[in-house]
């Protein structure tokens, strides 16, 4: 908390989100071109096929012989490896998956 208060640039976004949650506040992400709030996507499939999501498949390179992951595993892969994501190259369907994972399993936010 003291690093946040001092404005240190090395503080992770996760630390800021933890502080926001501890204060009982919510952070809402807006879609930059329109300024509208990003809609939460209800419902997730029981399993997520890696072949359907190029960025997720790249992140799951170490899972040999695995064709599908659970939504919780997918969220974990995205959050732990977000720095390796090519956001500009992400397909709309994969963006929707990430939003749905964050909304359903991540408390409305992606911890990256």
- For residues 25 and 4, membership in a common domain is answered with yes
Do 44 and 19 belong together in one domain? no
Are 102 and 26 in contact by the 8 Å Cβ rule? The answer is no
| CA 82 to mean position of chain CA atoms | 8
Phi-psi region of 25 (alpha: psi -120 to 50; beta: other; left: phi over 0): beta
Decide if pLDDT at 18 tops 90. Answer: no
pLDDT per position as a tens digit, 40-98: 445 788 899 999 999 999 999 988 899 999 999 999 999 999 999 988 989 999 999 99
Range of the domain at 19: 1-32
Nearest to 46 by CA among 16, 70, 82, 63: 70
In the chain, the N- to C-terminal Cα span, in Å, equals: 18
Residues 52 and 76 in one domain: yes
Q: Is there a single domain that holds both residue 43 and residue 59?
A: yes
């Amino acid at each position: 908390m003291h690093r946040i208060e001092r404005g240190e640039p090395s503080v992770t976004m996760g630390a800021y989100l933890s502080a926001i949650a501890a204060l009982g506040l919510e952070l809402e992400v807006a879609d930059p071109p329109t300024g509208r709030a990003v809609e939460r996507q209800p419902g997730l499939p029981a399993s997520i096929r890696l072949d359907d999501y190029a960025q997720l498949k790249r992140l799951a390179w170490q899972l040999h012989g695995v064709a599908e992951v659970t939504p919780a595993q997918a969220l974990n892969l995205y959050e732990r490896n977000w720095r390796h994501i090519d956001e500009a190259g992400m397909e709309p369907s994969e963006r929707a998956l990430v939003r749905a994972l964050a909304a359903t399993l991540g408390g409305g936010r992606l911890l990256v």
